[in-house]
Structure 1
Amino acid sequence: MAKRIPLAPGLFTWPAAEPALLGGRCGSCGHVAFPYREHCLACGKAEVAQVELPRRGRLWTFTTQRFRPPSPPYAGADTPETFVPFSVGYVELPGACRVEARLTEPDPDKLAIGQEMELTVLPFGSTPEGDETVVFAFQPVR
């Protein structure tokens, strides 16, 4: 039976009704980073604890991807003919960090700097075994 699995392990809690990104908080300097790493990017120490990041934040900046990214590394199930533009942006998570992510809203006229966003999970493609892959994204809070 096919299952839904993250495109890459360790990025977010899954399966979960309300998934959360998995970041790291340095016990030495307090720096928060995503994705989780064993060593702090700010001070280099190995005192990093894995933490769930806030599910909501504010759109810091964004752009629209109007052409299919080159493969590899892009692994989408679409083709140049079926590609649909999408938005990507940085979402500032309170008390944590800024996260680069796909946005669910492709129309730039419906996005605004400072807009409240919430984490969600989207279908992305499939594995050779037939499992559906999912990725994290942010959607506008209505």
Structure 2
Amino acid sequence: MSEVASVPGGKASAGEALPPIQEGVFVGPDAEGTLALIGSGCADCGQMMFPIRARCVKCFGGALNNHRFDRQGRVVTFTVIRQAPPGFFGSVPYALGMVELEAGVQVLTHLVGKPPESWKAGDIVESCGMSLPLDPRAERYGQAFAFRPSSEIQQ
């Protein structure tokens, strides 16, 4: 495994074969640790959604197609989590942020790759893979998505 970013509670990973924490949410990560989020696009009204939906959240239509989102996004807001919620076995503190993708779709996600307190609204980010412990002893890990500072900074 080649490490992409140090992450409290896990490691951003490149090509590591871990089971996804939630199926059908992303594809990847590739050799550089990047991945693509998978959502839905409505053929009737054009609304984009994440994650994949059975019905459109705007027009309630059922003509949805899977959509692979661009890797790039922008941090809208974030907070630093200092107290782990029940069932989270990673370390604290960590940054949790709202990232806006194409077409205004917003995703709640871990922000990794720099100290939690150094994030700012407006930061340009890219999706990446992140491994998280699934039990208190960190004997099992699962693959999740996160966002890290973009390697193609366009601020």
TM-score (norm 1): 0.82
Say if 2:108 is the partner of 1:94: no
Q: Which amino acid aligns with 2:30?
A: A
Alignment correspondent of 2:66? 50
SS of 1:100 mapped into structure 2: strand
Percent of aligned positions that are identical: 31
Which region of structure 1 is more displaced relative to structure 2, 3-12 or 87-96? 87-96
Tell me, yes or no, if the aligned pair for 2:29 and 2:129 is still in contact at 8 Å: no
Of 110, 117, 129 in structure 1, the residue corresponding to residue 125 of structure 2 is 117
Alignment correspondent of 1:9? 23
Post-superposition offset of 1:92: 0.8
Tell me, yes or no, if the aligned pair for 1:5 and 1:131 is still in contact at 8 Å: no
Post-superposition offset of 1:15: 5.1
Tell me, yes or no, if the aligned pair for 1:4 and 1:131 is still in contact at 8 Å: no
Of 126, 134, 145 in structure 2, the residue corresponding to residue 136 of structure 1 is 145
Tell me, yes or no, if the aligned pair for 1:24 and 1:33 is still in contact at 8 Å: yes
* CA distance 1:91–1:16, shift in 2 (3 Å): same
Count of residues in Structure 1 that have an aligned counterpart in Structure 2: 130
TM-score (norm 2): 0.75
Q: Which amino acid aligns with 1:77?
A: F
* CA distance 1:52–1:58, shift in 2 (3 Å): same
Q: Work out the CA distance in 1 between the residues paired with 2:54 and 2:145.
A: 22
Q: Which amino acid aligns with 1:9?
A: E
The RMSD of aligned alpha carbons is 2.1
Instruction: Give the ranges of 4+ consecutive aligned residues of structure 1 lying more than 3 Å apart after TM superposition.
Output: 14-18
5+ unaligned residues in a row in structure 2: which ranges? 1-15
SS of 1:5 mapped into structure 2: coil
Post-superposition offset of 1:47: 0.8
Post-superposition offset of 1:16: 3.4
